[in-house]
Amino acid sequence: MDLNEKSRGFTDLEFAKLDTDRLERSGFPEVVFCSGKPDEYLISIYQKMFEETGEVFGTRASDKQYELVKTVIPDIAYDPVSRILKYEKPGKTREGLCCVCTAGTADIPVAEEAAQTAEYFGTRVERVYDVGVSGLHRLLSKIDLIREANCVIAVAGMEGALASVIGGLVKNPVIAVPTSVGYGASFSGLSALLTMINSCANGIATVNIDNGYGAGYMATQINRLAVGH
């Protein structure tokens, strides 16, 4: 990076302008959205970000993209459930607490995107999976842990009722994540989205369908405020 690029706050790769100033400006480094990127562009982006910061985090990566990036960053880690492709510095500390809850097992890929995003950004995460409203006793068995959290992420498809139930049981913010899990009339997550944004429970904010990353990011912002950062 030359001095001119440093003063501009980004590195120009022609096909991408890496936002090297984002961490200082917003408190979070730039993250790579892998899906749809041409192979050679993705490799160059990962290599450059790794060279400049010593770590890199990407979402919505494929098995093929993992194999490609591994040629330039041999120790890159890939999780096929969340589809996160990352290399993070060892010895990171995680503070506070966020609980990530799912209605069903099919919601776990989106929940893991949220949980691992929050962990990468320094939040301690507890996972509470498969506690949907069709068996409310499962949720209630974990309610003491959930109430300790500075923030709760509720991930649900189908009718999306989990966020409303949790919102009525806890005092801290709930981030609702509708997923595209469900049968035809769920409209690929639209029914869950509408349920969540029309919830009668207070203290619920809703992100877009399947947007685990956005939930993990916002949860970290809330958690940082709670722990005094």
Instruction: Dump pLDDT digits (tens) for 77-119.
Output: 999 999 999 999 888 899 999 999 999 999 999 999 999 999 9
Percent of the chain whose predicted confidence (pLDDT) is above 70: 97
Task: Output the CA–CA distances (angstroms, integers) from residue 99 to 92, 126, 164, in the order listed.
Answer: 19, 5, 15
- pLDDT tens digits, 126-166: 999 999 999 999 999 999 999 999 999 999 999 999 999 99
Per-residue pLDDT, averaged over 199-228, amounts to 96
Q: Are 168 and 145 in contact (CB under 8 A)?
A: no
Percent of the chain whose predicted confidence (pLDDT) is above 90: 82
Q: Both tokens of residue 8? A: 């501009």
What's the pLDDT at 5? 53
Q: Both tokens of residue 167? A: 């919102």
- Determine the 3-state secondary structure of 18 from DSSP: strand
Which residue, 63, 58, 20, is CA-closest to 42?
58
State yes or no: pLDDT of 24 exceeds 60: yes
State yes or no: pLDDT of 3 exceeds 50: no
What's the pLDDT at 1? 45
pTM for the predicted model, two decimal places: 0.92
| Residue 226 backbone dihedrals phi, psi, to 5 degrees | -65, -35
Confidence of residue 7 (pLDDT cuts 50, 70, 90): low
Assigned CATH for 95-227: 3.40.50.1970
d(CA 96, CA 208): 25
Per-residue pLDDT, averaged over 175-204, amounts to 96
Give residue limits of the domains in the chain.
Answer: 6-87, 95-227
